[in-house]
Structure 1
Amino acid sequence: MNRFIVLLRGINVSGKNKIPMADLRQLLHDLEFKNVQTYIQSGNIILDSEEIKSTVCQKIKEGIQNKFGFEIPVIARTIPEWKKVIQNYPFSLENEKIVAFTFLEHNTEIKKIEVKGILEDEYLIDTNMVYLYCPSGFARTKLSNNLFERKLNVTATTRNLRTTLKLLELATK
């Protein structure tokens, strides 16, 4: 049995793509995933499955499409992969309010993109991750999911440090 942390992109944002967490958990149980947990309302899931990562993502994506009627990108990581993401963070972790992790749906060969006006914000692209350090604040940064999706041609979803650490804590209890 494998444990996965699964991230849904773009649910319960500005009243769009609304999925009540109780309904999402029921769907995941119906799809025969085990030990299903959700964390906050923004599409963070922990679950166990015998399936491989790509199958887990596809089943969830199809299940949401069938039950709720919209298509949602789904990204998953194993617990060792999640731990590696945190360990590899290249910037300071001292101020949690300016630290974030952008998870990419698949690997990219691109290591640098041109982004104008990012002020003192920094990023590092690493295979299937983008590490963010945003002293200007996340409300002001140009380093967004949409930017990375457009420049890297890959689906992306971002979680702040607090959520990233909490998901690991819940997944390893």
Structure 2
Amino acid sequence: MAGNNQIYVALLRGINVGGKNKIKMTELRSSLENIGLRRVKTYIQSGNVLFESSDAEATVRQRIEQEIAAVFGITLTVVIRTAEEMEKIVRHCPFSSELIAEAAATCVGESLYVALLPEPPLPSGIEKLAAANNEDDTYEIVGRDVYLLFRHSVRDAKLSVNLQKLGKPVTVRNWNTMSKLVEMAKELRE
């Protein structure tokens, strides 16, 4: 990789969910290329974007949010991670494979997710989430990421509904998506 170019993953919050905030990925790619992001790739329709830039995370985040507001008329939060940060998230899952298998056996759909925040939650938010969670689901907060393990369904889980108690915008991705983004980021780096 030349100079200080960084491979980033941008996770757009609330894109193409339930017929709202519709953005075609081809249009998103070209608008992000127009603001100088390089080698832009998208994965599925839920707003997962990989790209290369030499700018700092905060700068890139602000430019993407402004571009989406200007081009698509949608105000949203973009959560950014470097390729290395994404790899670390996937490599350091705090749940044992036994615990994950146990949850997967009773869960409708995916059981393992990661909630990603632009910055770490405040202690008051962490306390509120702890108070609101039932014993059904398990979570582990690591910096600005929250690992989520559901035993029944992500859709009906109190934990999903209560993530906003952390006091920061949050976007959630299932484990398969996280793993695929890590794989795509590695390909971009090579």
Same fold (TM over 0.5): yes
User: Does the 8 Å CA contact 2:93/2:147 hold for their aligned counterparts?
Assistant: yes
Q: Please, what TM-score do these two structures have when normalized by structure 1?
A: 0.92
Are the equivalent residues in 1 in contact too, given 2:122–2:167 (CA < 8 A)? no
**CA-atom RMSD, angstroms?**
1.5
Cα distance in 2 for partners of 1:164, 1:28 equals 21
Unpaired runs of 5+ residues, structure 1, are: none
Report whether the alignment pairs 1:26 with 2:13: no
2:162 corresponds to: 147
Alignment correspondent of 2:132? 115
Instruction: Provide the C-alpha distance between the structure 1 equivalents of 2:96 and 2:153, rounded to a whole number of angstroms.
Output: 15
- Equivalent position SS for 2:113: strand
Task: Give 2:15's aligned residue.
Answer: 11
Q: Is 2:101 aligned against 1:101?
A: no
* CA–CA distance in structure 1, aligned partners of residues 184 and 138 of structure 2: 29
Q: CA deviation at 1:5?
A: 0.7
- Partners of 1:165 and 1:156 in 2: CA distance: 19
Find the aligned partners of 1:109 and 1:65 in 2 and give their Cα distance. 27
Deviation at 1:121, TM superposition (A): 0.8
Show the counterpart of 1:130. 146
- CA drift at 1:88: 2.4
2:173 aligns with: 159
State how far apart, in whole Å, the 2-side matches of 1:170 and 1:15 are: 27
**1:148 CA displacement:** 1.9
Say which structure is richer in helix. Answer: 2
Give the distance between the partners of 2:23 and 2:121, measured in 1 at CA.
30
Aligned pair 1:69/2:73, yes or no? yes
Amino acid at match of 1:9: R
Instruction: Return 5+ residue gaps in structure 2 as ranges.
Output: 105-109
Say if 2:176 is the partner of 1:172: no
Q: Secondary structure at the match of 1:89?
A: coil
Aligned-residue offset at 1:147: 2.1
Deviations 1:75-105 (A, max 9, x none): 0001111111112211134546210000011
User: What percent of counterpart residues are identical?
Assistant: 35
Q: 1:161: how far off?
A: 0.5
Please report how far the alpha carbon of residue 74 of structure 1 lies from its aligned counterpart in structure 2 after TM superposition.
0.2
Q: Identify the residue that residue 60 of structure 1 maps to in structure 2.
A: 64
Amino acid at match of 2:145: M
Matched letter for residue 168 of structure 2: V
* TM-score normalised by L of structure 2: 0.84
The number of residues matched between the two structures is 170
Deviation by residue 1:96-124 (Cα, 9 ceiling, x = unmatched): 621000001111242442114x3421011
Q: Which has the larger radius of gyration?
A: 2
Distance 2:131 2:92 in 1: 23
